[in-house]
Amino acid sequence: MKVAIIMGSDSDLPVMKESAKFLDELKIPYEVYISSAHRVPDKTAAIAKNAVANGIEVIIAGAGGAAHLPGVIAACTTVPVIGVPIQSGALNGLDALYAIVQMPSGIPVATVAINGAKNAAILAAQMLSLKYPEIAEKLIAFKKEMADGVEKKDAKLQELGIDGYLAQK
């Protein structure tokens, strides 16, 4: 099993590294590419068209601005694509969000929040967990750890009250 993390520019790397970090935590193998839908369309199409043959089971694609990368990839493969709109430019990522989420019928792209690369990796892991029980177990542990963290914060709030809690932050 492998995930492909693809971004249109190296300027997207600081955001997209969050996908890689989460996949590393769960020990899910991945490949990372810089491949612009506009500047190297043949390379982008080849990555997408060869995804299945290369063992890729989910693709995470991050793009800012016009954000065509996730849609172009989705048009060239049957592998699920998760789009990450990258905050950039005058519209602070709204343009990318709209471009990724408003795909035409027949070319779906799951879309996470602006700069939501970690959530994209979590979603990719959830998709893979349907086939790989060991990933499901890791996700259960991850979610339990999150819940435990909330419970600890609430216990602290109950003990200290609002002002005391905020004073310790």
> Helix or strand or coil: residue 154?
helix
Whole-number pLDDT of residue 144: 98
Whole-number pLDDT of residue 1: 72
The whole-model pTM stands at 0.95
74 and 146 together in one domain:
no
67 and 148 together in one domain:
no
For residue 19, give the nearest of 11, 29, 152 by alpha carbon: 29
Residues in the chain, how many? 169
- Look at residue 89 and tell me whether its pLDDT is greater than 90: no
66 and 123 together in one domain:
yes
Whole-number pLDDT of residue 122: 98
Q: Which CATH number covers residue 38?
A: 3.40.50.1970
- Helix then strand then coil, in percent of the chain rounded to 5, is 50, 15, 30
111 and 163 together in one domain:
no
At 64-81, the pLDDT tens digits run 988 999 999 999 999 999
103 and 157 together in one domain:
no
34 and 99 together in one domain:
yes
Query: For residue 61, with 0-12 CB atoms within 10 Å meaning exposed, 13-18 middle and 19 or more buried, which class applies?
Result: buried
For residue 9, give the nearest of 42, 44, 59 by alpha carbon: 44
100 and 156 together in one domain:
no
Whole-number pLDDT of residue 169: 83
* Domain range for 38: 2-131
- Look at residue 57 and tell me whether its pLDDT is greater than 80: yes
Distances (CA, A) of 65 to 30, 113, 164, 165: 25, 15, 43, 40
Indicate the pLDDT class of residue 100, thresholds 50, 70 and 90: very high
Whole-number pLDDT of residue 66: 85
52 and 10 together in one domain:
yes
161 and 116 together in one domain:
no
CA 30 to chain centre: 12
Q: What is the number of domains present in the chain? A: 2
13 and 88 together in one domain:
yes
